Amino acid sequence: MSDLHPTLAGAFQTVLDRNPGEAEFHQAVREVLDSLNPVVAKNPEYADQSIIQRLCEPERQLMFRVPWTDDEGGVRINRGFRVEFNSALGPYKGGLRFHPTVNLGIVKFLGFEQIFKNSLTGLPIGGGKGGSDFDPKGLSDGEVMRFCQSLMTELYRHIGEYTDVPAGDIGVGGREIGYLFGQYKRITNRYESGVLTGKGLAYGGSQVRTEATGFGTVFFTREMLATKGLRISGRRVIISGSGNVAIYAAEKAQELGAQVVACSDSGGYIVDEDGLDIALLRQIKEKERGRVSDYAEQRPNATFHAEGSVWDVPCEVALPCATQNELDDDHARSLVENGVLAVAEGANMPCTPKAVEVLANAGVLFGPGKAANAGGVATSALEMQQNASRDSWHFDHTEQRLDQIMVDVHARCAEAAETYGQPGNYVAGANIASFIKVADAMLSMGVI
């Protein structure tokens, strides 16, 4: 951590005072502020107009009761959240997460990250995030549907295609988005396709949205490696998680000629030296809602490990695609000792600050989540474009758009890092490039 410019230090202290106990939010803010010393020094108007303080305070925070009935007739209560963080660049945009660990601090950290990620895409979207402490694991489709309907019965009044456009995240995939969209349509009596993204292809979804975050992470990795004259083809890759982001990162890495040999879930990790059978993994995770341990049982040379860490598996490229703070400094040291060349965050903030430091000191290429996983939200914005023009694009065309967006995101980060004297530092580059765009938009709009 660097010493902060007085403006940044003051803003950070306010964040600590105003948001006690929200460790992940503090971490996300600090990481951005750590990059901004040279920017604030060069542009005093950001300090004069309290841009940093305003950026750290969400425009609106919503928290509400979500009652629903389980299959036994019992009444259950969850808590719903939506943090509408910043709309300087466009309507609030960001996913909904359903996981028992969700609380206001987690949603704020994700919403804050989202502002900068969305800015980096170059598309007109602001930042927001939401979710619930609801745990869909083991529940029937009927229970998940009733929960989604209850959540939307409150959420609908706060969202809209020009206001706030939620999408999926952990625990929210195509099934949940379908139930949410159905309830929104029913309550409002409007077929407002652009109110949610990640929709099914039959009712306004975009080709490549499902694959976009994982594909985009691999495109970003390819670009980082290319700066050193390296290729992803033939590389040994490991991935954490086995959900939406992980599966499609694995698929694209293999398509580009890499050997993906490991992935995980919260129960453990699997190693398959033959290379992951993605079709089998998808069948188990997406269709059967099974575990990676089930995969190991069906592949002769695969092994399941309930103990230890996926990061101890030797690799040249590591893609953390599960959850925040899942890769710490010990894991980073293990990766470095095993010769890792590049780490790109498919998940949001999966590497702890100390892990990032270890990787940086070892000269490992490091792509922070707000850049490396921006392909998901970028393709959501492409879905909004298609909805607005009542059009639908082909898969190849949409994938080319995504690829170009990731090339541009990479270039924006590299250029800002270079301009501000930190060539090759994608963390600084991502934070600086994205901040300047949002800050300039905020300056133009006056004190709001």
Residues contributing to the site for ligand NDP (CB under 6 A) = 168-171, 213, 241-246, 265-267, 321-323, 326, 346-348, 373, 376
Residue 158 CA, distance from chain mean position:
22
Task: Pick the closer one to ligand NDP by CB: 322 or 384.
Answer: 322
CA end-to-end distance (rounded Å), the chain: 31
Nearer to ligand NDP, 7 or 265 (CB): 265
- φ and ψ at residue 114, rounded to 5 degrees: -65, -35
Orientation of helix 23-35 relative to helix 426-444, angle to 10°: 90
Q: Shortest Cβ distance from residue 266 to ligand NDP (Å)?
A: 3
What is the amino acid identity at position 359?
Answer: L
Q: Work out how close the CB of 42 gets to ligand NDP at its nearest, in angstroms, rounded to a whole number.
A: 31
In 3D space, the residue among 249, 246, 277, 251 whose CA is nearest the CA of residue 264 turns out to be 246
CB 327 within 8 A of CB 311: yes
Residues in the chain: 448
Ranked by CB distance to ligand NDP, the top (closest) residue is 243
- Give the DSSP H/E element, type plus range, for residue 200: none
Distance of CA 226 to the CA centre of its chain: 23
Structure tokens that stand for 10 in this block: 């003051």
The catalytic residue positions are 129
**Paired tokens of 286:** 């997406």
| Closest approach of ligand NDP to the CB of residue 346, in Å | 6
Minimum distance of ligand NDP from residue 290's CB (angstroms): 10
CB of 297 to ligand NDP, least distance (A): 16
Question: With b meaning 16 or more CB within 10 Å and e meaning fewer, what string describes 181-219?
Answer: bebbbeeeeeebbbbbbbbeeeebbbbbbbbbbbbbbbb
Q: What's the min distance (Å) between Cβ of 385 and ligand NDP?
A: 17
| Least distance in angstroms from the C-beta of 167 to ligand NDP | 7
CA distance to 68, 347, 357, 431, per residue, from 166 (Å) = 21, 18, 33, 23
Q: Residue 12 or residue 220: which is nearer to ligand NDP going by CB?
A: 220
Q: DSSP letter string over 359-380?
A: HHHTT-EEE-HHHHTTHHHHHH
CB of 250 to ligand NDP, least distance (A): 11
- Residue 419: count other Cβ atoms within 10 Å of its Cβ: 14
Q: Are 224 and 365 in contact (CB under 8 A)?
A: yes
Q: Which of the 8 DSSP states describes residue 374?
A: T
Nearest residue (CB) to ligand NDP, 170 versus 428:
170
* Distance separating alpha carbons of residues 62 and 44, to the nearest angstrom: 33
- Whose tokens are 């950070």? That residue is 12
Largest Cα separation within the chain, whole Å, is 64
Q: Any idea what the Cα angle at residue 437 is, between residues 60 and 446, rounded to 5°?
A: 55
Structure tokens at 425: 């530092």
Strand order in the sheet with 259-265: 302-305, 268-272, 259-265, 236-240, 317-320, 342-344, 365-367
- Residue among 209 and 222 whose Cβ is closer to ligand NDP: 209
CB of 130 to ligand NDP, least distance (A): 12
Query: In DSSP terms, which residues pair with 431 in a beta bridge?
Result: none
